[in-house]
Amino acid sequence: MLRVERRWTISNLLSVSRVILLVPIVFLMFKPGSQFRLTVVILMVIATLTDFFDGLLARSLNQVTDFGKILDPVADKICVVVASFALVIAGDVPIWFALLVLLRDFAILVGGSMIITKRRIVVQSTWAGKWTVTFIAAYLVLATLRADSIAAVTHLFLYLSTVFLFISFAVYFRIFKKDMVEST
């Protein structure tokens, strides 16, 4: 059951900061010069670290909230989709990848919203979802670097991200199907 609770915890503020970091990331991504690309990478790494620390702090400070369970994955999805499409525009990521990320995240958001509406529960992120975001973040950072010397590693993370997009979608679909059947 959804509870009324304190919303602005340290961990929830970290989730919001991740979305706010998108502004300079996208702005600097289109500035000419390699020094801006390095700044973008640093900001992307900071944003990725906020994703790690928000959950860790929520658990260690006993501040896990239903609001945070919704905010964290929504912040992840906003960041991943916006960064993916910005990198498509910059010519660093294939459009099919960004569309796949968008479709998967949209389906998960719709399914999660239906579960909240019908069952009044918030589905937590899964191990597959966490690994997917990690692989996507690594791929986007590597693609941002545009370094030929790490092209093989960049392609490896593109492959891992794509595989985990499908795995995590299947895991969330199974959860959605189970929760929706239980609600009838």
CATH number of the domain to which 57 belongs: 1.20.120
Give the pLDDT score at 184.
58
Does residue 84 lie in a domain region? yes
Instruction: Report how far residue 111's alpha carbon sits from residue 14's, in angstroms, rounded to the nearest whole number.
Output: 25
Q: What is the mean pLDDT of each run of 10 residues along the chain (184 residues)?
A: 63 93 95 86 94 87 84 91 96 97 92 78 79 95 93 96 96 82 64
Tokens 């069952």 -> residue: 119
Q: Cβ contacts of residue 109 below 8 Å, gap of 6+?
A: 74, 77
Does residue 1 lie in a domain region? no
Number of domains in the chain: 1
Does residue 5 lie in a domain region? no
Does residue 163 lie in a domain region? yes
Q: Would the pTM count as exceeding 0.85? A: yes
Structural domain containing residue 159: 10-182
- How many C-beta neighbours within 10 Å does residue 172 have? 21
Give the pLDDT score at 6.
67
Does residue 4 lie in a domain region? no
Torsion sign across C-alpha atoms 53, 3, 174, 140: negative
- b/e code 93-127 from CB counts within 10 Å (16+ = b): beeebbebbeebbeebeebbeebbeeeebbbebee
Give the pLDDT score at 2.
45
